[in-house]
Amino acid sequence: MSKPNDELFKNVISHAKEYGFVFPSSEIYDGLSAVYDYGQNGVELKNNIKTYWWKAMVQLNENIVGLDSAIFMHPKIWKASGHVDGFSDPMIDNKDSNKRYRADQLLEDKIDRYDKDGKTDKAEQLQHDMDEALKNDDLPRLKELIIAHEIADPVSGTRNWTDVRQFNLMFSTQMGAVADDADLVYLRPETAQGIFVNYLNVQKSGRMKIPFGIAQIGKAFRNEVIARQFIIRMREFEQMEMQFFVRPGTQKEWFEHWKAMRLKWHLALGTGPEKYRYHEHTKLAHYADAAFDIEYEFPFGFKEVEGIHSRTDFDLSQHQKFSGKKLQYFDPEINQNYVPYVIETSIGLDRMFLLTLINAYVEEDLSTEEKQDSRVVLRLHPCLAPVKAAIFPLTKKDGLPEKAREIMDKLKINFNLQYEEKDAIGKRYRRQDAIGTPFCITVDHQTLEDNTVTIRHRDTMKQERVDAGQLENIIGGLVSWKNLLSL
Is residue 89 near ligand ATP by the rule CB under 6 A? no
In the bound state with ligand ATP, the residue whose beta carbon lies nearer, of 355 and 360, is 355
In the bound state with ligand ATP, the residue whose beta carbon lies nearer, of 54 and 338, is 54
In the bound state with ligand ATP, the residue whose beta carbon lies nearer, of 222 and 319, is 222
Of the candidate spans 122-130, 137-145, 232-240, 411-419, the one that interacts with ligand ATP by CB under 6 A turns out to be: 232-240
In the bound state with ligand ATP, the residue whose beta carbon lies nearer, of 64 and 347, is 347
Q: d(Cα 267, Cα 184) in Å, to the nearest integer?
A: 43
- Give the distance from CA 431 to its chain's centroid: 26
Q: Which of 233, 262, 381, 388 binds ligand ATP (CB under 6 A)?
A: 233
Of the candidate spans 248-256, 347-355, 409-417, 420-428, the one that interacts with ligand ATP by CB under 6 A turns out to be: 347-355
Q: Which of 39, 213, 348, 386 binds ligand ATP (CB under 6 A)?
A: 348
In the bound state with ligand ATP, the residue whose beta carbon lies nearer, of 304 and 406, is 304
Q: Which of 350, 387, 394, 403 binds ligand ATP (CB under 6 A)?
A: 350
Of the candidate spans 150-158, 346-354, 359-367, 454-462, the one that interacts with ligand ATP by CB under 6 A turns out to be: 346-354
In the bound state with ligand ATP, the residue whose beta carbon lies nearer, of 105 and 156, is 105
Is residue 407 near ligand ATP by the rule CB under 6 A? no
Rounded to 5°, angle at Cα 483 from 52 and 466: 120
Q: Minimum distance from CB of 76 to ligand ATP (Å)?
A: 21
Size of interface with ligand ATP, in residues (CB under 6 A) = 16
Q: Which of 153, 306, 313, 444 binds ligand ATP (CB under 6 A)?
A: 306
Q: d(Cα 68, Cα 202) in Å, to the nearest integer?
A: 12
Answer for the pair 9, 358: CB distance below 8 angstroms, yes or no.
yes
Is residue 393 near ligand ATP by the rule CB under 6 A? no
Q: Which of 90, 307, 386, 401 binds ligand ATP (CB under 6 A)?
A: 307
Is residue 237 near ligand ATP by the rule CB under 6 A? yes
In the bound state with ligand ATP, the residue whose beta carbon lies nearer, of 187 and 305, is 305
In the bound state with ligand ATP, the residue whose beta carbon lies nearer, of 77 and 347, is 347
Q: Minimum distance from CB of 291 to ligand ATP (Å)?
A: 9
Q: Which of 46, 143, 149, 222 binds ligand ATP (CB under 6 A)?
A: 222
Is residue 340 near ligand ATP by the rule CB under 6 A? no
B/e letters for 371-380, b = 16+ CB within 10 Å, e = fewer, are: eeeeebbbbb
Q: What are phi and psi of 3, to 5 degrees?
A: -90, 155
Q: Minimum distance from CB of 22 to ligand ATP (Å)?
A: 13
Judged by CB under 6 A, the chain residues 164 through 203 that form the site for ligand ATP are 190
Give one word for 338, left, alpha or beta, with left for phi > 0 and alpha for psi -120 to 50.
beta
Pairing of strands 276-280, 236-246: unpaired
B/e letters for 274-306, b = 16+ CB within 10 Å, e = fewer, are: ebbeeeeeeeeeebbebbbbbbbbbbeeebbbb
Answer for the pair 271, 313: CB distance below 8 angstroms, yes or no.
no
Q: Minimum distance from CB of 301 to ligand ATP (Å)?
A: 12
Q: d(Cα 465, Cα 456) in Å, to the nearest integer?
A: 9
Is residue 346 near ligand ATP by the rule CB under 6 A? yes
Amino acid at 254: W
In the bound state with ligand ATP, the residue whose beta carbon lies nearer, of 83 and 388, is 83
In the bound state with ligand ATP, the residue whose beta carbon lies nearer, of 188 and 388, is 188
Of the candidate spans 136-144, 173-181, 270-278, 305-313, the one that interacts with ligand ATP by CB under 6 A turns out to be: 305-313
Q: Minimum distance from CB of 472 to ligand ATP (Å)?
A: 37
Of the candidate spans 147-155, 229-237, 382-390, 447-455, the one that interacts with ligand ATP by CB under 6 A turns out to be: 229-237
- Taking the C-alpha atoms of 356, 359, 363 and 368 in order, what is their torsion angle to the nearest 10 degrees? -120
Enumerate binding residues for ligand ATP (CB under 6 A): 190, 222, 224, 233-234, 237, 239, 304-307, 346-348, 350-351
